[in-house]
Structure 1
């Protein structure tokens, strides 16, 4: 049994769409996979049980449009997360799981990248695999309407497996590396329901989880 834990959804991102996407990608119900959905406040307890993979599809801000914005990622929790990965855990930072976290905090340092911005208008974004990567087939190439994430990626210290391009420019869209005894994978698509359930994207998401699971 593969045990996954997932924290999904925030003000701008539907937890239900993300759940549909994840379960579709993993053929949930047909595969020997268990998914425990949880809230940020439960993460310390969840990580103590050493799940095989943790998936974060949630930005750091609880209330991004309010005057006084509250966040949930404390440095204490960040260290719990990085210790989990260092000791053999596996982490997928997916879309908003890269957004609004402290850039000098240990969580972002573990990811070796973070969200910078996206153009206000969603556009056709083309996603293409990097040659010679070990996460997705090199033939991977598809396009869909999406938020085009532009990121700060430490390319010298990670491995880019997916790149993106739109009329707004080019950006890294997926990268991976080992961190201590564990693994980290970062994936920037997708935002809307059509993108999250796009078959080509589901294949990428499935490959990311598979890479994290395989020793």
Structure 2
């Protein structure tokens, strides 16, 4: 879910250049539906740094508005906004995990200089800390795939990667965790929504 944004930022500039979630106990589907945000609307927080011009900030906002929540954009200060090291991590389950992913990808792509910094954060419109947070795609799946499934059913997420999985049947919870782990390659998958 990480993407290099040199081309997208360049297009926004008109150039031809290629807080965290309080994870709680498992909630049922009806409760989860009340706690999630509209997956179509995002709010952008720009993090101002001396190396970013007013034009850079405008381009960042335009690019960030096209991403799914939760997300973050990282830039290598010594390389500037249009570097291949500029990375967005989007569609995570919280902005902190997106920031970690964006910084790691940016730092591994930068050519040198100082460490990468976060320049934008992407959250759902009206964001406030809640008992559960899901990426935009997982939120859509909660309202469609999960909702249509018959109990027992479960939705598992990987906070570190933004991956999620839905399963139903007698082994719904273990199946959702196993599918999430298979997709993400991460050992952090856990059930956050279940109807038993």
Asked whether the two chains share a fold, i.e. TM above 0.5, the reply is: no
Point out which structure has higher relative CO (alpha carbons under 8 A, 6+ apart).
2
Question: If you compute each CA radius of gyration, which structure gives the higher value, 1 or 2?
Answer: 2
Larger proportion of helix: 2
Q: Give TM-score, length-normalised by structure 2.
A: 0.23
